Amino acid sequence: MIAHLKGTIHRLKPEEVTIDVKGVGYRVYVPINVWDTLKEGGETMLHTYTHIREDRMDLFGFLEDSERILFERFIAMNGIGPKLALELSAVPKSLLMQAVGAQEPRLLTTVKGIGKKTAEKLLLDLKSLAESQPEIFGSGMSSVSENSTFDQDAIEALKTLGYDSQTIMSVMKDMPEECATTEERVAAALRAL
């Protein structure tokens, strides 16, 4: 299997890049948040997961090995394939930990393709993973702040206004700390959009 690739990035379309490694181009699917950070023509290293099916082989790339491990955990779950796992990989780890801490599956159902039952199973798996390998979620992720920028009501309000979950998560992760109420978070998100 291919563990990582280091080379020149060519952005194709959202969630898809080609990485040129000494003249050989590898098509790699990446979470949208990773795609946003990669610069066209820039050098980078992606930790990869190779997904093999009968008719094709796909590569999925991540900036950190912990992101790859989390992706593998997602696809090991019944009902979650690589494309849905890629969507989940774009969700900030702090939101995942907030959902685990609050045991609130609604936070995960904002991801397209995740229903309530899948979200509940995912919460159990993430809780187990957070207890056994807390380093995957980074330092300080095990304690979830009540003042988290991921306010479910704000997320729902933005979805009602027609924004997709990836766009919402992208804006919410950069939310200023001084936004304490749902109204302030929605207003700040709308200004950012």
pLDDT at 150: 57
CATH match for 4-64 among 3.40.50.300, 3.30.499.10, 2.40.50.140, 3.40.50.1820:
2.40.50.140
Residue ranges of the domains in the chain?
Answer: 4-64, 66-137, 152-192
Distance CA 115, CA 117 (A): 6
Residues with Cβ within 8 Å of 36's Cβ and at least 6 positions away in sequence, in order, are 170
Q: Which CATH class is domain 66-137?
A: mainly alpha
Instruction: Please report, in tens digits, the pLDDT of each residue of the chain (193 residues total).
Output: 899 999 999 988 889 999 999 999 999 999 998 998 999 999 999 999 999 999 999 999 999 999 999 999 999 988 899 999 999 998 888 788 888 877 888 888 888 888 888 888 888 888 888 888 878 876 544 444 444 445 677 887 888 888 877 788 778 777 777 887 888 888 888 888 8
Reported pTM: 0.70
- Establish whether domains 4-64 and 66-137 are of one fold: no
